[in-house]
A = this chain, B = another copy of it.
């Protein structure tokens, strides 16, 4: 879970952000009408519906999240989850090709979509009296998608171009991709969400349609409505729009190949003329919220906040402010994966600084964390920072909606989602010492270095003894 999701346009779900949404103080939450009245129910066809009341304005956020992502793709067909997300904006019997977003815009709304390892999500934000329409539109494309060969061919060019601009032209993205491929030995989190270029280039209409028929169904979807609505309103609208859709009896619980024990640290070294300053990063495989022992994910989150999040973090203070060997440095815990989480940490070398020296300094910070844990003062400040972020994020209706969608995706109840801030509050310095000792294990890690080199013509010129004389 090292990569943020891929989105149709600009809506980016970074996983750290998603995680941050889980955090608040109990007091804050008790004061919030949203939390006390969040309600969940299922239609007879298995569709899970979550209602998050938010009456500040007469608008709603409507999410349809399918329990399918790139990690559910068949080997060799990478990228099809994301490709299908694009193709979901083609036609049905009722909606002309490409008209979906235009209709939403005409109704005064916004829409978008994203694909991640574990989920594919569709989103509309719109006036509350239009909710019925967008629900009908989503219900329609849940089962009635039509695709022509021509649409598929054209959209395939779009995703190939997306990969070119996001990955191929970005050495940092390439390194992340190569590191993920080395971090996971068995799990499909190894494979980029957008897919491998050579497999994307072969994606066919049949690939997309068979993925659609296999995974898009009411009993594989979570609908979240946040906004100026009551539970009864949403129940009636959802029943009317989605209730008649047939469940797919072949939907099963997702079982993906799991990791063997990791025994040997890995390194990946990328040399690239476009690299900018040299940099080093490291990923550790860890549990996620859904796989961790109770309290472990929360402790990992706080640990990484203290260690590497922002300019007051240990890493930044040491490498950037004090030693001035890094121009930037940071890190995070990614805990929203269904099957595993990870820690990431990085530093960009200041001009002329040796990368070995930089990595040694980064290792020093991690070593101290592992050996000595954190202080009560640091932990207290980290918890306070969470509260601030949580409260800020709770102002966003879509963040509220995502919080519960994410919980549902990971199999949590509303109560468990609501308890997350309390679980954060319960973390002790001893808990952090324990997870640091357990999970900052170099055997579970990949270290990546990104090293600028002269471009090919420059390199050739430098190698020719007579270069410049001709």
Contacts and interface: CB of A to CB of B under 8 A. Distances in A.
Contacts of A468: none
26 contacts: A75-B188, A75-B256, A75-B257, A76-B186, A76-B255, A78-B186, A174-B263, A174-B264, A178-B185, A178-B263, A181-B185, A182-B182, A182-B185, A186-B191, A186-B199, A198-B260, A199-B257, A199-B258, A263-B270, A264-B271, A264-B448, A265-B268, A266-B266, A266-B269, A267-B267, A267-B269
Contacts of A191: 186
A193 interface: no
A264 B270 contact: yes
Contacts of A13: none
A264 B185 contact: no
A260 B174 contact: no
B257 A264 contact: no
Nearest to A450: B264
Number of copies: 2
Contacts of A429: none
Nearest 5 interchain pairs by C-beta: A76-B257, A267-B267, A264-B270, A181-B185, A196-B260
A76 B78 CA distance: 17
A175 interface: yes
Nearest to A188: B75
Contacts of A197: 260
Which of A75, A188, A190: most chain B Cβ within 10 A?
Answer: A75
A404 B117 CA distance: 44
Contact of A198 (B76, B255, B258, B270): B258
Nearest to A272: B263
Interface in A215-259: 255-258
Nearest to A257: B76
A269 B265 contact: yes
Contact of A185 (B76, B190, B258, B270): B190
A265 B270 CA distance: 7
A173 to B, nearest CB: 11
Contact of A256 (B76, B270, B271): B76
A269 B265 CA distance: 6
Interface residues on A, range: 20 to 34
A269 B445 CA distance: 11
Interface string A283-294: 000000000000
Contacts of A190: 185
B76 A75 contact: no
B266 A182 contact: yes
Contacts of A76: 186, 255-258
Interface string A339-369: 0000000000000000000000000000000
Interface string A105-124: 00000000000000000000
A188 B196 CA distance: 15
A82 to B, nearest CB: 16
Interface string A184-219: 011010110000111100000000000000000000
Nearest to A190: B185
A186 B196 contact: yes
Interface string A395-411: 00000000000000000
Contacts of A258: 76, 198-199
Contacts of A185: 178, 181-182, 190
A87 to B, nearest CB: 22
A101 to B, nearest CB: 32
A346 to B, nearest CB: 16
A175 B266 CA distance: 11
Contacts of A199: 186, 257-258
A89 to B, nearest CB: 27
A76 B260 CA distance: 11
A75 B188 CA distance: 9
Given A76-B255, A182-B182, A264-B268, 15 more contacts: A78-B186, A174-B264, A178-B185, A178-B266, A181-B186, A182-B266, A186-B191, A196-B260, A198-B258, A199-B258, A264-B269, A264-B270, A265-B268, A265-B269, A266-B266
A178 B75 contact: no
A174 B260 CA distance: 12
Contact of A267 (B181, B263, B266): B266
